[in-house]
């Protein structure tokens, strides 16, 4: 297939600069930051789709993955002041919540016979809940549902809970792992450029610390995901810088399972005046991410954020994972005006989306062991 792709591109009279990049991709050679910028600025959608599909097929055997999961969001009370956030509330403010461990256990137990294999736990950075509180939460969830995989806490949450408890990150993550933590999500990365972070999330865990926390998790054999918030104040160079930092860490640790580009949604936050990216730009971003991140095995389109139709389209642009069933259990993006206001999908619906895109549906567990091929 690789030779036919290159022959097709050569006959299409692709610009020499882009053809050089294509030759690298087809030859399984790593592209540079300059190459990545050229893809963003000069690559047409069909060209990008062709290269992204080449990388995706090389990595994933034509499978597109999904799992059966649900989310728990313990609280939306948060000490940070991210200007793009539509989710955060102050303590006592209308619309805030802070579920007790008992509340969370009731929710978890309601899924005991649902077939769900993963619970995803993330929320705000609560001012009064330290590491020991979350250790007790993880232990309680594990005791109630021993077979379920617990994917929990962004690096930002880990940073805060360890700091509140006076424990370093290494020891804190080890204690969480012993309590039952199976993996970590990739949230809180936003965009790594420090100048952009000062404008959009000035008091949040910094980029270097986010990467350090994930490095420590990987060293402790805790797999993680990675994200990038795009469509806010950044340019293509900032995006490539972000991807390159992730690629460099993956070279060191091989601990990232998946990368998830997260589209900025402008409802009900300080950047509501910014026009959201188009679907064309979303698809371009998926493709460049897939091509550039040659060492992160999976690219996920988080359908509750972009909508099911765009998620299905994204499969042609290198995406090989649609996340999971969700079951209307998250508010993070619906509160920001996402395409799916009550995010829920049946397994049949996800299977149909994947088959409709010409791929093979593969139900997985959290760490990409295949449970069933459809």
Q: What is the DSSP letter of 22?
A: H
Sheet containing 360-364: which strands, arranged edge to edge?
Answer: 321-324, 63-67, 360-364, 370-373
H-state helical runs in 81-232? 101-109, 131-144, 155-165, 169-179, 194-200, 207-219
Work out the burial of residue 273: count CB atoms within 10 Å of its CB; fewer than 13 is exposed, 13-18 middle, 19 or more buried. exposed
As a whole number of angstroms, the distance between CA 164 and CA 142 comes to 24
Q: Which tens digits make up the pLDDT trace of 307-349? A: 899 999 999 999 999 988 876 545 554 454 445 445 578 889 9
Work out the burial of residue 352: count CB atoms within 10 Å of its CB; fewer than 13 is exposed, 13-18 middle, 19 or more buried. middle
Q: What is the DSSP letter of 262?
A: E
> Structural domain boundaries of the chain?
2-57, 63-373
3-state secondary structure of 15: coil
| Overall residue count recorded for the chain in this entry | 374
As a whole number of angstroms, the distance between CA 160 and CA 169 comes to 10
As a whole number of angstroms, the distance between CA 65 and CA 362 comes to 5
As a whole number of angstroms, the distance between CA 162 and CA 168 comes to 6
Q: Please name every residue paired with 121 in a beta bridge, in sequence order, or none if there are none.
A: 72, 152
Nearest to 151 by CA among 172, 188, 121, 124: 121
Task: Record the tokens describing residue 23, joined without a space.
Answer: 């030759």
Task: Record the tokens describing residue 51, joined without a space.
Answer: 């290269």
Phi, psi of 303 (to 5 degrees): -60, -30
As a whole number of angstroms, the distance between CA 41 and CA 66 comes to 31
As a whole number of angstroms, the distance between CA 364 and CA 354 comes to 14
Fold of 63-373: TIM Barrel (3.20.20)
Angle at 78 between CA 76 and CA 342, to 5 degrees: 25
237 Cβ neighbours under 8 A, 6+ residues apart: 37
Q: What is the pLDDT of residue 303?
A: 86
Residue 297, CA distances (Å) to 65, 198, 225, 258 in order: 12, 31, 11, 6
Would you write out the chain's pLDDT as a tens digit for each of its 374 residues? 556 766 767 666 788 899 999 999 999 999 999 999 999 999 999 999 999 999 998 876 899 999 999 999 999 899 988 888 877 788 888 888 899 999 999 999 999 888 899 999 999 999 999 999 999 999 999 999 999 999 999 999 999 999 999 999 999 999 999 999 999 999 999 999 999 999 999 999 999 999 999 999 999 999 999 999 999 999 999 999 999 999 999 999 999 999 999 999 877 777 888 899 999 999 999 999 999 999 999 999 988 888 899 999 999 999 999 988 876 545 554 454 445 445 578 889 999 999 999 999 999 999 999 999 99
């Amino acid at each position: 297939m690789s030779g036919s792709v290159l022959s097709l591109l050569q006959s299409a009279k692709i610009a020499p600069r882009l053809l050089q990049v294509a030759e690298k991709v087809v030859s399984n050679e790593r592209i540079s930051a300059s190459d990545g910028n050229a893809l963003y600025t000069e690559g047409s959608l069909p060209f990008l789709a062709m290269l992204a599909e080449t990388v995706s097929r090389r990595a994933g055997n034509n499978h597109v993955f999904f799992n059966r999961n649900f989310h728990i969001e313990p609280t939306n009370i948060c000490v940070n002041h991210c200007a793009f956030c539509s989710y955060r509330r102050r303590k006592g403010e209308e619309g805030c919540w802070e579920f007790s461990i008992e509340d969370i256990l009731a929710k978890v137990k309601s899924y005991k016979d649902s077939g769900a294999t993963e619970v995803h736990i993330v929320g705000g950075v609560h001012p009064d809940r330290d590491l020991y509180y979350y250790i007790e939460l993880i232990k309680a969830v594990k005791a109630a549902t021993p077979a379920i995989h617990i994917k929990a806490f962004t690096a930002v949450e880990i940073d805060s809970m360890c700091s509140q408890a006076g424990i370093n990150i290494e020891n804190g993550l080890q204690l969480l792992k012993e309590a039952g933590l199976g993996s970590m999500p990739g949230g809180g990365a936003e965009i790594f450029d420090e100048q952009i972070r000062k404008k959009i999330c000035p008091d949040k865990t910094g980029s270097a610390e986010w990467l350090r926390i994930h490095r420590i998790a990987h060293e402790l054999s805790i797999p993680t995901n990675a994200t990038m918030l795009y469509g806010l104040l950044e340019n293509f160079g900032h995006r490539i810088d972000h991807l390159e930092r992730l690629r460099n860490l993956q070279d060191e640790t091989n601990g990232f399972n998946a990368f998830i580009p997260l589209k900025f949604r402008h409802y009900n936050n300080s950047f509501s005046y910014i026009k959201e990216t188009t679907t064309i730009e979303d698809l371009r971003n998926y493709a460049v991410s897939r091509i550039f991140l040659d060492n992160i095995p999976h690219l996920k389109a988080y359908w509750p954020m972009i909508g099911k139709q765009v998620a299905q389209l994204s499969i042609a642009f290198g995406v090989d994972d649609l996340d999971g069933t969700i079951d209307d259990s998250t508010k993070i993006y619906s509160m920001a005006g996402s395409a799916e206001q009550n995010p829920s999908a049946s397994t049949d619906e996800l299977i149909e989306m994947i088959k409709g895109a010409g791929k093979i549906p593969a139900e997985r567990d959290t760490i990409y062991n295949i449970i069933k091929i459809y």
